[in-house]
Structure 1
């Protein structure tokens, strides 16, 4: 229930989430979650981040009914609130009400979260319950499961009176083999779930065995063969429909389960969100194309922080300004157009942990301000974190210097379906600023780089928006850094070459208080990336918008 979609073992043996948020699970400002501090915020994957403590949560069925709920219920749905409470690897007896055991805090915290969620006038509509794999791993806990589950649900309903609480129970599909007991009894727990549904009112069961999973090939599971992958988690949100449950009734009573957006295509709804699914299956080519290149702040590190193991991970939060749209495409690593999703540089900025960047925000702002002239916008991500300008420049004498050739090939290939490259957006130089020698060579290298690009893609007209850097790369640990030299070089190149516009990223951040940065004080946070994307769009439109 907490979700492990996209969670895998990395090379160090640590569990990490891959950070990929499917279209079906993306954030929406009308879908909120009650966070660990019991405050409402825009819901984002992993929905159980900070709730399923000591675990690595990923994609779950969490942000999945709300989109369908809103589409089916219309204005009646209003803003939907999700209250994540799941905890991985738990027994039902850890959840049960037990006043005599002061250390048994799950139940009390659970009830408090339910009650707190209504403090601002909302109404709890249902409980979505999926648990029991750990109990099924042992014969004794499996045989006690029916009484424990029945008591648990009865106690909840008594303690939150006079609220009406329908419960949707997802029947488990397997026992928790991580617990390594020899007396597992899956049938006992599954029978208990059926029995509780029959003995208590207003309980609906759906069977996870009906999901697209295979216990022989392990289709539908993550690497561990015990947790559902992202596709199965999304399918779980659709299960009430597949199981023949009256959707109209479900929509009236459930506000905390999430159905995948792909269902909208079948619903006949005229809501604007419906267009996401068919376009995701057959994205068209763009009209206007923009090249995004440079290093990590261009690739995007918004939402990237270190987890408890010291690994850099993306928090999965996609703000409304960076949400996907079927009219915004990206040129994939394989050279195909597809709907742009954050992280836009996934698969491009290889061997790095990428997060939210400025690209989709730029495209959205461009469309909003251009009065439909922008049409379908194509983004060509090319940035590579931690790179020097000398890794980018054209160097035919060095066969290993492949950045430049690949870069030119991506620019040319992006126009294969009839679109036109409108500009290059360039943000790079922090690594060069970390050492005096590279900083002082920067002007000549950057000027040559831009001139070579323009010569090699003739007769295309290529305006360049050059984002001046705000910091040097402290990870490179040089004692001779020279940020002013690189910033001066950027100004000089703008003056010496035509059709280059500069914007200064130092205006977006505070290099003393580190406001606008991640905790590393080098990479722009999500808020700064949003501001940068909007500024880039406004800059392009004010100088070159007449070309659209």
Structure 2
């Protein structure tokens, strides 16, 4: 019993120390960076469990302070509710598929943010932030260290209303172009995830429009993919996925990315 306790304590100390300091970085071409953008279902709202606290030294994240540290949930810091998301699972799978490289995740999602807030100079009162401008600063911090390999996007709930849903497609197409221009990678993979399709929680027509726009755009824009959320559960609020669903979403994003880049 005492030995088990000491081993657990040692694990906690090692994990805490690893996260508290800058992680060792590989050469730039061996450090694959992924941008995580969107609203709360990208940031993650799942309950953090023990498995989410385990670090993989080949999967790093850019901390709120702009330091590279081992990835651990919650990765985002947009709201106090931030929890388990899809990013860490995605990073672990991509790292395993690419021996000899490290993965760098750049969390930038903002809970509740409509797509119109992802433009230069736009202020989002709910989080007292500028989603696009804040992301730009973090991208500028991250890019000198590695190579941008993908953009992960999960958003749409805040645009699923009359007057917004009808214009979602051109706004998303514009965002894809602006993000690729920002990271100076016109062909970088862009993966968009589907909003929750939860049993007993019917969609309104506007949510269907946003979903359709995203699906169709993914078929027409080069190097863009759509990830389904079919069969996944919510955490009880009928909006956010539960922890297991976020991990499954991470697997689906990773499968889409590997299929695009194999």
Matched, 1:501 2:225: yes
Look up the SS of the partner of 1:437 in the other structure. Answer: coil
Question: Which has more radius of gyration?
Answer: 1
Q: Alpha carbon RMSD of aligned pairs, Å? A: 2.8
1:481 Cα deviation from its structure 2 partner: 5.6
1:445 Cα deviation from its structure 2 partner: 1.0
The residue number in structure 1 matching 2:49 is: 317
Indicate how the Cα distance of structure 1 residues 263 and 449 shifts in structure 2: closer, same or farther if over 3 A, else same.
closer
The residue number in structure 1 matching 2:39 is: 295
**Residue from 483, 491, 494 that aligns with 2:215:** 491
Matched, 1:532 2:249: yes
* Aligned equivalents of 2:24, 2:131: Cα separation in 1: 28
The residue number in structure 2 matching 1:446 is: 172
Matched, 1:468 2:194: yes
Deviations 1:174-213 (A, max 9, x none): xxxxxxxxxxxxxxxxxxxxxxxxxxxxxxxxxxxxxxxx
1:376 Cα deviation from its structure 2 partner: 1.4
Q: Which has the higher contact order (CA 8 A, sep 6+)?
A: 2
Mapped contact 1:436–1:480 kept (Cα < 8 A)? no
Q: Which runs of 5+ in 2 are unaligned?
A: none
The residue number in structure 2 matching 1:333 is: 64
Look up the SS of the partner of 1:462 in the other structure. Answer: coil
TM-score by length of 1: 0.42
Task: State how many pairs are aligned.
Answer: 249
Mapped contact 1:393–1:445 kept (Cα < 8 A)? no
Indicate how the Cα distance of structure 1 residues 278 and 484 shifts in structure 2: closer, same or farther if over 3 A, else same.
closer
TM-score by length of 2: 0.84
Indicate how the Cα distance of structure 1 residues 263 and 541 shifts in structure 2: closer, same or farther if over 3 A, else same.
same
Matches within 5 A, 1:255-404: 258-261=8-11, 279-280=18-19, 281-285=21-25, 287-303=31-47, 316-319=48-51, 323-345=54-76, 347=77, 349-350=78-79, 352-370=80-98, 372-373=99-100, 375-394=101-120, 402-404=130-132
Mapped contact 1:508–1:531 kept (Cα < 8 A)? no
Deviations 1:147-179 (A, max 9, x none): xxxxxxxxxxxxxxxxxxxxxxxxxxxxxxxxx
Indicate how the Cα distance of structure 1 residues 436 and 284 shifts in structure 2: closer, same or farther if over 3 A, else same.
same
Deviations 1:216-241 (A, max 9, x none): xxxxxxxxxxxxxxxxxxxxxxxxxx
* Aligned equivalents of 1:283, 1:430: Cα separation in 2: 35
Structure 1 segments (4+ residues) deviating >4 Å = 276-280, 398-401
Look up the SS of the partner of 2:144 in the other structure. Answer: coil
